[in-house]
Structure 1
Amino acid sequence: MGENESKSSVEINAIYYALKNGVRLIDTAEMYGEGGAEIIVGEALKKANIKREELFIVSKVYPHNAGRDNLFTSLKKSLSRLGLDYLDMYLLHWRGRVPLRETVECMEEAKKEGLIKDWGVSNFDIDDMKELESIKNGDKCSVNQVLYHLASRGVDFDLASYMLERNIVLMAYCPLAQAGNLGNDILNNSVIKNIAKKHNATSSQIALAFIMSFDKRVPIPKSSSEKHVLENINSQNIILDKEDIELLNKEFPKPNRKMPLDIV
């Protein structure tokens, strides 16, 4: 998003349509289109004219900008592109060379200045989270955004439970495995298709409903068409029963050993 100017009107309209149909959480980052995605989101927010207090806007800072020299500059640029006075959530996009202690200090200062409501991280595995927790105010982290879908459940070995115990939200990116052919394999899986038929739903809705069946897990699917926007919204109405969950766990089992964290 925000990488091709010729598609900007389509992208703005897709976000606008989502906002007008009840979506209130929008996730973006300074990396996406080198700020272009934030501009697109900002235009859609302006067009939709939703009350600010009803929105939950998330953006992410590059690791090399996550220190005292650059974080506040990056944050203010993101706010300017989005047309906002503050972010509801600001995430460190992934670990870099800037010490975590310095990043946490900056995040806490940004909170005190009213530039962000809360902060978190992205692409952190359990060792990263433990190190973060050992730092002063590191326990103020409220979100870890990680890749998670039915065919990528490495976080279910230890990371997810660690986060849940600490009330840290797991924000799942690529919940439909959009990055590659794997998404098609999941959506065409016979078990998922049968469950979808049972609920008069689509396969993608079942994949999203599975994630939402867990406490403190929020999927953030991409969608560029009105049809997919509505599918994603309506997935919130699907309640999988015990049999559905058992079938999905059997078809897409949790790992029985530690797996490297998947990142795209």
Structure 2
Amino acid sequence: MNPDNHVSRRIALGIGVAGVGALATGTVRGGEPIRQETPPGKNPANEVKLLPTRKLGRNGPMVPMLAMGGDMEATNAPGLINRAWASGMRYYDTAQKYGHENEEAIYRRWFAAHPERRKDIFLVSKDYPKKKGPEELLTMIDTRLEALGTDYIDLYFIHQLCPEVYGAESVNWGKSDVFRKVAETLKASGKVKMVGFSCHGGPEYIQAAADGGFLDALMVQYTPFYERGGAFDRALTACHEKGIGLIAMKTLRHAGNVPKRLPEFEKLGLTTHQALLQAVWSDPRISAICNSVRNFDQMKSSIASAHGYKAPLEVSLVNRLKDAVLASRRTMCPGCPSCDAKVASTGFAFRDVARYVTYFEQDNYGQSRDLYLALSESARDSSQADLKALHEACAFGINYPEIAARAERYFA
């Protein structure tokens, strides 16, 4: 029996109540077959065990289920990139701003030293078209290519699309004729194969992409504990039905204080963090997880989880994970939709501020202060925001008043 069809015991993550019957028949809404991950392959040159893959969107390639996330410490990045390659990772994610805007140069030197590797990897980069909007990507792409030392990028994102960075009108970019024409031009040039955005805004941004129907992929803040049938769930399904690939990000950031091992997952040979990754892969709409990597132990653990994924986690196990995460009460917004309505009502970038505080406290991340100070003065100003209301609205109980005070203490 296919374990994905055993819906009486397995969780139909991310497709809502109405989708359970569809999962049992091997389809999701819209009649599209569930994307089955391929078994791990081998590189014939050196017998490296490659990661299992899933199809990215309706027209995209098969991509590894796990991506090498960027924004690494500059001293560690070259070694981590090489270890990732040797460990079978073939999906690399970077951006203009990562590594104090130096990370792309590390990839440029890596490609120069190993030119044969470029064709074997899926490469993502991102940019900030803050001045002119999507049209600015048409000139920015040449800078990205030069910085990376490559002739093309497999997937090119507008980075961190949200009202705090691009203004309230940016919610409509995903369905605008301007962005459509930009995406078409970029792909026709051969400089880019796929176009999309990384979403730091609410589900309305994801829904706009579905309404537009022309983007190839999105990267979304994802927790497996979101409201089934809620706005985020519906937006993901709408994108999936339009053939837009979905990549999960920040899946572990809210789990820094979760116990590393719990008895329920010990029996399955999984750490708690490995189980969280598998809970995300249990959603058939998610093609890959972009996983931030700070050291080789983290990378090795995540790779093992990808190779070990066989079927969706049971509902009881996902609920156990949720209880453990709630009990840990991390400072970082986990990406659930409980406070989305508050985003438009305040200029204070509370999600970003909470993220930078988490980076600083959890990872001792040296760039946290720079990231905080790079925000506009108004985005750092919490005096006009109702932080108590944000705290009360948060399903995870994140204490935004305390976080804002800590950010001032740490960074200002």
- TM bin, normalised by shorter chain, reads 0.7 to 0.9
Q: Tell me the amino acid that sits aligned with residue 259 of structure 1.
A: S
Match of 1:57 among 123, 139, 164: 123
Equivalence map 1:129-208=2 (5 Å):
129-134=206-211, 138-150=212-224, 157-177=233-253, 182-186=254-258, 188=259, 193-208=262-277
Structure 1's unaligned 5+ residue stretches are: none
Instruction: Report what 2:27 is aligned to.
Output: none
Question: Tell me, what secondary structure is at the counterpart of 1:79?
Answer: helix
Instruction: Report what 1:70 is aligned to.
Output: 136
Instruction: Report what 2:338 is aligned to.
Output: 259
Question: Tell me, what secondary structure is at the counterpart of 1:60?
Answer: strand
Question: Tell me, what secondary structure is at the counterpart of 2:309?
Answer: coil
Query: What per-residue deviation string (whole Å, max 9, x for no partner) do you get for residues 206-259 of structure 1?
Result: 1111111221311111112222222121211223656x4312332339xxx953
Instruction: Report what 1:236 is aligned to.
Output: 306
Does the 8 Å contact 2:74/2:99 carry over to 1?
no
Instruction: Report what 2:195 is aligned to.
Output: 119
Query: By how many angstroms is 1:151 displaced?
Result: 5.5
Instruction: Report what 1:104 is aligned to.
Output: 180
Change (3 A) 1:166 1:245: farther
Structure 2's unaligned 5+ residue stretches are: 1-69, 324-335, 344-350, 353-412
Instruction: Report what 2:283 is aligned to.
Output: 214
Query: By how many angstroms is 1:25 displaced?
Result: 0.9
Return the TM-score normalized by structure 1: 0.79
Return the TM-score normalized by structure 2: 0.53
Matched, 1:249 2:310: no
Equivalence map 1:42-53=2 (5 Å):
42-53=108-119
Report the structure number with the largest CA radius of gyration: 2
Q: Distance in 2 between matches of 1:23 and 1:116?
A: 21
Q: Distance in 2 between matches of 1:234 and 1:49?
A: 28
Query: By how many angstroms is 1:167 displaced?
Result: 2.4
The sequence identity of aligned pairs, in percent, is 21
How large is the Cα RMSD of the aligned pairs? 3.0
Query: What per-residue deviation string (whole Å, max 9, x for no partner) do you get for residues 85-123 of structure 1?
Result: 011001112142577232332221010000100111221
Match of 1:227 among 297, 314, 318: 297
Question: Tell me, what secondary structure is at the counterpart of 2:256?
Answer: helix
Match of 1:11 among 77, 80, 87: 77
Does the 8 Å contact 2:282/2:311 carry over to 1?
no
Query: By how many angstroms is 1:130 displaced?
Result: 3.9
Q: Distance in 1 between matches of 2:82 and 2:309?
A: 27
